[in-house]
């Protein structure tokens, strides 16, 4: 018997090849066009004050908060849609096109294939969010300087004391591009990573892209009520059936409410002690769990 | 010498939706392919050819029996280090060019840097796609796709190449190019395991053949032995005069145990005629 080279799972180089290939595939599917739309809207809003439409009372820090809010909202929309749709599309497409045969006929462990595919989607979301974050920071910096200049001129004319002017200036700067705001974008990424790994898990046992996409969005929706389900399980005076349902939802669905910390950050708040590391750890736990389940299913799958 | 492929008593059943009884796609199939041989597995649609190949590649798990590649269990990832596979009607990634496709598969097999680039160039030349190497696969013809598919199968210099209907949907010229490539692999000592519906082509390139029907191997052996009609002899003459032919006829009729069954001009095949009038005519 001849002894070929050992091809152990989780080879970083091989995973890197599949990750970069998946990233290229998505880029060539013109996913980045979304960034162009985002940039146009962001720059347009700065030039033409789109965020004031329908809200003529917006002024000062409200304008900045509005830019932060809809920028983060757009990033969430983009990352959730790409996380579900791109992941749901890639695996079944490889099976349908039989490209998967040629990949698995090479010395590629199935775990490496799954990790690489997920890695490619996450890399795309990360790069997209980074570009959007930089664009948002640039526009916010410009806008903040304008608002600060207007406010300082107005309150100086009104004869405010220097200390109060400085306090107002700091308050306004706090609504500009802060590290907490970048942290919020990172939380958007973490949430997208959990959603993408959920979609990957579903796609390993589903045979249809449509089913994976719908179920992926459904899991995201139900995941926003996971905390309530947990409360139901631990609550008193509930029937065994309700307890069972609560336990089922709390076990299967990731708790997406945890990521709502973003709302506080948009309002100018900061991470509370240990909040970000806990979110990183929890996201990592969910991604690894989903990958593990995906691997268990995919390892036995026949093509 | 260690066989390149060893399939022993392979059984594979599927359970189609809405059917109580399992469907036995492969039923106790055994075959062995020696290193350097070209082996053809032929059979009608749904006879179990592709399932046998998939079992050999670990894409489906046998219900019983075993598949080994150069002595290694084919369910182990390591066994695929020595295998190249071209599936039936492969699509590949349309967003990649021919060269990028080969680079991708080469990297999956651990090739890097100058060695990889050299191999990509060599393979593009081998399959006659050097000029189209930078074009995306979305613009490739069916024959070009089959050839780039064959090139990706060869990227890590495997000792065994598995081809599932390598000429399906390809025109006669493309089909002949693939046939020539198989001859080239044989010359280089690479084992080829192919299944095809084009029996003439199988006859042309294969050393040994297996006929599979309803999941069972019904005939297997060296092609010359299988095709030889035991009690007949063929004599082909060039420039024979009518007088000589008459003498031969008389000689045969004088032997009580022999009978002249047929005499006349041998016919070419339609494929050969087509190639002679198209591809060969274009050559300077």
Residue B284: pLDDT band (50, 70, 90) is low
Q: Which of A240, A217, A218, A238 is nearest to A228 (CA)?
A: A238
Which position has the higher pLDDT, A63 or A183?
A183
Q: Which of A93, A294, A278 is nearest to A196 (CA)?
A: A294
Q: What is the mean pLDDT of residues B179-207?
A: 89
Residue B15 lies in a domain: yes
Residue B274: pLDDT band (50, 70, 90) is low
Residues in B touching A107 (Cβ below 8 Å): 77-78, 80-81, 108-110
pLDDT of residue B173: 82
Percent of chain A clearing pLDDT 90 (strictly above): 46
| Other Cβ atoms closer than 10 A to B61 | 12
Residue B235 lies in a domain: no
Q: DSSP H helical segments within chain B, as ranges?
A: 49-56, 98-108, 113-126, 142-153, 172-187, 199-205, 223-227, 242-253, 270-277, 279-282
Which position has the higher pLDDT, B38 or B228?
B38
Q: Do A107 and B80 touch (CB under 8 A)?
A: yes
pLDDT tens string B129-183: 999 999 999 999 888 998 999 999 999 999 999 999 888 878 888 888 888 889 9
Highest mean pLDDT among B86-90, B190-194, B242-246: B190-194
On whether both B129 and B268 belong to a single domain, the answer is no
Residue B159 lies in a domain: yes
Residue B118 lies in a domain: yes
pLDDT tens string A146-155: 889 988 998 8
* Angstrom distances, CA of residue B82 to CA of A209, A295, B50: 34, 25, 19
Q: How near does any CA of chain B get to the CA of A216, in Å?
A: 25
Torsion, Cα A73 A74 A77 A80, to 10 degrees, reads -90
Residue A97: pLDDT band (50, 70, 90) is confident
In the predicted structure, residue B68 carries a pLDDT above the cut 70: yes
Q: How far apart are CA B41 and CA B10, in angstroms?
A: 15
Q: What are phi and psi of B208, to 5 degrees?
A: -135, 155
Chain B segment 219-258 residues within 8 A of A by beta carbon are none
Which of A97-101, A186-190, B132-136 has the weakest average pLDDT?
A97-101
Q: Do A18 and B58 touch (CB under 8 A)?
A: no
Residues in B touching A14 (Cβ below 8 Å): 107-108, 110
Q: How far apart are CA A154 and CA A290, in angstroms?
A: 55
Q: Average pLDDT of chain A?
A: 86
On whether both B205 and B260 belong to a single domain, the answer is no
- DSSP state, B12? E
Give the DSSP H or E segment for A209.
Answer: helix A209-223
On whether both B154 and B55 belong to a single domain, the answer is yes
Q: Which residue has the tokens 């060869």?
A: B154
Which of A124-138, A202-216, A222-236, B22-36 has the weakest average pLDDT?
A222-236
On whether both B142 and B260 belong to a single domain, the answer is no
Beta-strand pair B191-195/B5-14: unpaired
Q: Do B110 and A13 touch (CB under 8 A)?
A: yes
How would you label B169-193 residue by residue, b for 16+ Cβ within 10 Å and e otherwise? Answer: ebebebbbbbbebbeebbeeebbbb
On whether both B96 and B214 belong to a single domain, the answer is yes
Residue B236 lies in a domain: no
Where does residue A60 fall: left (phi above 0), alpha (psi -120 to 50 degrees), or beta otherwise? left
Contact A122, A23 (CB under 8 A): no
Q: Which of B107, B110, B151, B109 is nearest to B130 (CA)?
A: B151
On whether both B45 and B143 belong to a single domain, the answer is yes
**What CATH number is attached to the domain comprising B183?**
3.40.50.300
- Chain A interface residues (partner B, CB cutoff 8 A): 1-2, 4-7, 13-14, 17-18, 21, 24-25, 28-29, 97-99, 101-109, 300, 302-303
In the predicted structure, residue A36 carries a pLDDT above the cut 90: no
Name the residue range of residue B91's domain.
5-227
In the predicted structure, residue B30 carries a pLDDT above the cut 70: yes
What is this model's ipTM? Answer: 0.84
In the predicted structure, residue B125 carries a pLDDT above the cut 70: yes
Q: Do B90 and A98 touch (CB under 8 A)?
A: yes
On whether both B132 and B158 belong to a single domain, the answer is yes
Contact A113, A103 (CB under 8 A): yes
pLDDT of residue B161: 96
Q: Do A107 and B95 touch (CB under 8 A)?
A: no
| Other Cβ atoms closer than 10 A to B96 | 20
pLDDT of residue A125: 95
On whether both B129 and B247 belong to a single domain, the answer is no
In the predicted structure, residue B280 carries a pLDDT above the cut 70: no
Contact B186, B109 (CB under 8 A): no
In the predicted structure, residue B192 carries a pLDDT above the cut 80: yes
pLDDT of residue B207: 93
Q: Which of A15, A256, A33, A263 is nearest to A128 (CA)?
A: A33
How would you label B118-132 residue by residue, b for 16+ Cβ within 10 Å and e otherwise? Answer: ebbeebbebbebeeb
- Look at chain B and report how many structural domains it folds into: 2
Please give the structure tokens belonging to residue A137.
Answer: 């920071």
Q: What is the mean pLDDT of residues A163-175?
A: 90
Q: Does B60 touch chain A (CB under 8 A)?
A: yes
Residue B216 lies in a domain: yes
Q: How far apart are CA B157 and CA B68, in angstroms?
A: 19
Residues in A touching B111 (Cβ below 8 Å): none
Q: What is the mean pLDDT of residues B42-62?
A: 91
Q: Side by side, which strands form the sheet with B208-213?
A: B83-86, B160-164, B191-195, B38-42, B208-213, B216-222
On whether both B44 and B68 belong to a single domain, the answer is yes
Residue A4: pLDDT band (50, 70, 90) is very low
Q: How far apart are CA A212 and CA A207, in angstroms?
A: 8
Specify burial of residue B93 (Cβ count, 10 A radius: 0-12, 13-18, 19+).
buried
pLDDT tens string A190-225: 999 999 999 999 999 887 888 989 999 998 888 888
DSSP for A211-264, written as a single string: HHHHHHHHHHHHHTTHHHHHHHHH-SS--HHHHHHHHHHHHHS--GGGGGHHHH
- DSSP state, B279? H
Residues in A touching B88 (Cβ below 8 Å): 98
**Three-state SS annotation for B40-98:** EEECCCCCCHHHHHHHHCCCCCCCEEEEEECCEECCCHHHHHHEEEECCCCCCCCCCEH
On whether both B11 and B66 belong to a single domain, the answer is yes
Q: How near does any CA of chain B get to the CA of A26, in Å?
A: 9
Q: Which of A14, A94, A107 to mutate to test the interface with B (most CBs of B within 10 A)?
A: A107
Residue B233 lies in a domain: no
Q: How near does any CA of chain B get to the CA of A29, in Å?
A: 8
In the predicted structure, residue B196 carries a pLDDT above the cut 90: no
On whether both B249 and B209 belong to a single domain, the answer is no
| Other Cβ atoms closer than 10 A to B137 | 21
Residue A51: pLDDT band (50, 70, 90) is low
Nearest chain B residue to A298 by CA distance is B59
On whether both B94 and B214 belong to a single domain, the answer is yes
Task: Note the residue count of chain A.
Answer: 303
């Amino acid at each position: 018997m001849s002894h070929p080279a050992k091809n152990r799972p989780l080879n970083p180089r091989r995973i890197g090849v599949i990750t970069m290939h998946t990233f290229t595939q998505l880029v060539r599917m013109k996913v980045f066009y979304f960034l162009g739309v985002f940039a146009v809207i962001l720059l347009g809003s700065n030039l033409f004050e789109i965020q004031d439409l329908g809200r003529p009372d917006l002024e000062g820090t409200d304008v900045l908060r509005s830019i932060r809010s809809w920028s983060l909202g757009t990033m969430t929309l983009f990352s959730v849609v790409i996380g579900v749709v791109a992941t749901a599309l890639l695996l079944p497409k490889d099976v349908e096109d039989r490209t998967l045969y040629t990949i698995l006929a090479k010395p590629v462990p199935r775990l490496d294939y799954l990790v690489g595919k997920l890695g490619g989607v996450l890399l795309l979301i990360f790069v997209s969010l980074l570009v959007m974050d930089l664009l948002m920071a640039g526009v916010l910096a410009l806008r903040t300087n304008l608002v600060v200049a207007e406010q300082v001129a107005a309150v100086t004319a009104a004869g405010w004391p220097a200390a109060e002017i400085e306090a107002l200036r700091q308050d306004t700067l706090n609504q500009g591009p802060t590290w907490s705001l970048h942290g919020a974008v990172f939380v958007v990424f973490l949430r997208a990573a959990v959603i993408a790994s959920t979609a990957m898990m579903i796609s390993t046992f589903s045979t249809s892209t449509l089913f994976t996409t719908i179920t992926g969005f459904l899991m995201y929706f139900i995941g926003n009520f996971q905390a309530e389900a947990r409360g139901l399980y631990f609550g008193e005076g509930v029937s065994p059936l309700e307890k069972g349902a609560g336990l089922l939802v709390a076990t299967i669905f990731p708790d997406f409410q945890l990521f709502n910390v973003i709302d506080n950050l948009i309002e100018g708040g900061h991470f509370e002690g240990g909040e970000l590391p806990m979110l990183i750890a929890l996201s990592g736990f969910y991604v690894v769990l989903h990958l593990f389940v995906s691997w268990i299913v995919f390892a036995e799958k026949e093509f | 010498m260690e066989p390149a492929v060893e399939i022993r008593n392979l059984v594979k059943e599927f359970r189609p939706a809405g059917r109580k009884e399992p469907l036995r796609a492969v039923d106790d199939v055994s075959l062995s392919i020696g290193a350097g041989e070209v082996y053809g597995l032929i059979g009608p649609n749904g006879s179990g050819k592709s399932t046998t190949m998939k079992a050999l590649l670990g894409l489906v798990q046998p219900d019983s029996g075993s598949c080994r590649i150069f002595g290694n269990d084919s369910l182990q990832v390591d066994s695929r280090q020595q295998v190249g596979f071209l599936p039936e009607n492969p699509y590949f990634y349309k967003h990649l060019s021919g060269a990028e496709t080969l680079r991708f598969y080469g990297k999956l097999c651990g090739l890097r840097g100058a060695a990889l680039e050299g191999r990509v160039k060599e393979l593009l030349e081998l399959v006659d796609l050097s000029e189209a190497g930078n074009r995306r696969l979305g613009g490739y013809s069916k024959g070009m796709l089959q050839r780039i598919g064959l090139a990706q199968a060869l990227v890590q210099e495997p000792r065994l190449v598995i081809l599932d209907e390598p000429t399906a949907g390809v025109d006669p010229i493309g089909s002949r190019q693939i046939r020539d490539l198989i001859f080239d692999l044989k010359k280089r000592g690479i084992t080829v395991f192919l299944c095809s519906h084009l029996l003439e082509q199988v006859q042309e390139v294969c050393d040994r053949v297996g006929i599979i029907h309803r999941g069972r191997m019904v005939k297997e052996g060296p092609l010359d032995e299988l095709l030889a009609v035991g009690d007949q002899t063929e004599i082909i003459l060039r420039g024979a005069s009518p007088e000589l032919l008459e003498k031969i006829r008389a000689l045969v009729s004088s032997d009580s145990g022999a009978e002249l069954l047929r005499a006349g001009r041998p016919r070419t095949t339609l494929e050969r005629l087509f190639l002679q009038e198209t591809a060969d005519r274009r050559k300077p």
